[in-house]
Every structure is written in C-alpha cells, then in structure tokens.
Amino acid sequence: MRVPCIINARSTGGKEEGRFSQNDNMAKEKEAKKAFVLRMAPNELEALQRWADDEFRSLNGQIEYLLHEALKAKNRLPREKGGQSD
C-alpha cells in the first residue's frame, strides 16, 4: 500500500546579494513552489522521516535536499543565465 504525501517543489534562484535580496529571494521561491502528490510505501516514508529528523530537517526539506543532490550529481540542474548552477 502506498501513502500519498504532498511535496512542495521549488525552483532555486540565483546567489543572494545585498541587504534585502534574501527576503526578495525567499518571496520569489515561495511563488515558484508547486505542490504535487507523491505516493510512497509507508516504510520508505518512515525511513525518510527518521533521516530528516536525524539531520534536523522537515520531511519536505529532506526530500527537496535529496532531489537537489541527485540532480547535481547527474549534472541535471538547469544552468543559470550568466553563471553557474551551484
């Protein structure tokens, strides 16, 4: 049996510069997030939750982190205009 889990996907902006850009960047990130349903086996969801707890992240944050790292490892992150992706 799979358990639905709602995930917020987000696109990351560029490097933060200046005094107010962090707040501006956070606002842009919130606008760019898209929710979707992810169906997972309960034991996998529990394992991810334990891992997130160990690293002091939310479950959503842990999944975003793992997906970002996997994309980075496979050079699948979109290239930023005029800069590097990371």
Residues 17, 36: Cα–Cα separation, whole Å: 31
Q: For the whole prediction, is pTM greater than 0.85? A: no
- What's the burial of 63, exposed, middle or buried (CB within 10 Å: 0-12/13-18/19+)? buried
What are the pLDDT tens digits along the chain (86 aa)? 666 766 665 544 444 344 445 566 666 666 788 899 999 999 999 999 999 999 999 999 999 999 999 999 999 998 877 655 55
Which pLDDT score, from 0 to 100, does residue 8 have? 62
Q: What is the pLDDT of residue 79?
A: 82
- pLDDT score recorded for residue 81: 73
The span from the CA of 42 to the CA of 52, in Å, is 15
Write down the residue that tokens 């501006």 correspond to: 24
On whether the CB atoms of residues 11 and 66 are closer than 8 A, the answer is no
